[in-house]
Amino acid sequence: MFLKPFRGARINRTHPLARGLVAAYLMNEGGGNQIFDIANNNTGTFVNNTSWDVGPNDKIIDLPGVDDYVNIPSALANLSGSIATFICRVRVDAYDSNGVVLFGTNTGTSTWFQIIGDGSCVVMANTVAVVNTDFDNGEFRTLAFVSDGTNSTVYNNGVNIGTDADAVTAFAAGAKNFHLGNWIAGATFDLNGALEWAYVFNQALSAPEIVQVHREPYAFIERSQSRGALFEEIMAAGIVPILDHYSRMMRN
């Protein structure tokens, strides 16, 4: 079980996995209609019936699959070119008739990451045949989409399930408009399911790094909290009076 870092957690910029990190959505807010990017402040806003829920590990965002998504406008200016990684913890309950776009933009060049079906995925507009995987079985899994400028690779729970030569596709320079959970234009490609966290890198993570993110999704997050931040978090759980009384008893 991976309990999420508290709200207000920061990136440990000295950690190797923090290199090239351009967006990190922990989805640990648990309330309101926004998710915050703790890497570069690319805030996402819930649209339509996107909402908070609780998953097997911690907080998740629920997407019912009818034009429900997270809108991330004018963002990720430091993501450009043909080298990138998108990795997320996702549950797919059912496919849209067009498949599921997890993350993408149509600013400049249309570029996206998609599950077409159990036998193929898309990495930045490049279709990759993958080992037949029951993606829409309602179970959480870590999916990673990697483009290194030469090859496109898809990983399921840290395991390489398909590689193909890269198509000539690249993210445009400058700020771009993104959707998390469906396609930003045209047919919707809605995610009917949930997201637990999502990260975007402007570099191609190696196979061992993909395994590490799958096994330790918060390894590059600083865990230390001020007493005030900790107090705020545990007060929301209704246990502060007991803990605070105990701490005073121990000091006396």
Q: Are residues 155 and 247 in the same domain?
A: no
- Give the pLDDT mean for 55-68: 95
The pTM of the whole model exceeds 0.85: yes
Q: Are residues 239 and 167 in the same domain?
A: no
Q: Are residues 163 and 252 in the same domain?
A: no
Q: Which two tokens stand for residue 249?
A: 């008893």
Quick one: pLDDT band at residue 133, thresholds 50, 70, 90?
A: confident
Q: Which residues of 93-118 are buried (b: 16+ CB within 10 A; e: fewer)?
A: bebbebbbbbbbbbbeebbbbbbbbe
Q: Are residues 124 and 206 in the same domain?
A: yes
Q: Are residues 230 and 172 in the same domain?
A: no
**What CATH number is given to the structural domain containing 61?**
2.60.120.200
- Indicate whether 249 pLDDT > 50: no
Q: Are residues 227 and 174 in the same domain?
A: no
User: Do residues 121 and 99 lie in contact, with contact meaning Cβ atoms separated by under 8 Å?
Assistant: no
Q: 159 or 98, which is more confident? A: 159
Q: Are residues 189 and 129 in the same domain?
A: yes
- How many separate domains does the chain show? 2
Q: Are residues 33 and 43 in the same domain?
A: yes
Q: Are residues 126 and 190 in the same domain?
A: yes
Q: Are residues 54 and 107 in the same domain?
A: yes
* % the chain with pLDDT above 70: 88
Whether 128 is covered by a domain: the verdict is yes
Whether 9 is covered by a domain: the verdict is no
Q: Are residues 123 and 248 in the same domain?
A: no
Whether 111 is covered by a domain: the verdict is yes
Whether 68 is covered by a domain: the verdict is yes
Instruction: Write out the residue range of the structural domain in which residue 235 sits.
Output: 223-252
Q: Are residues 102 and 202 in the same domain?
A: yes
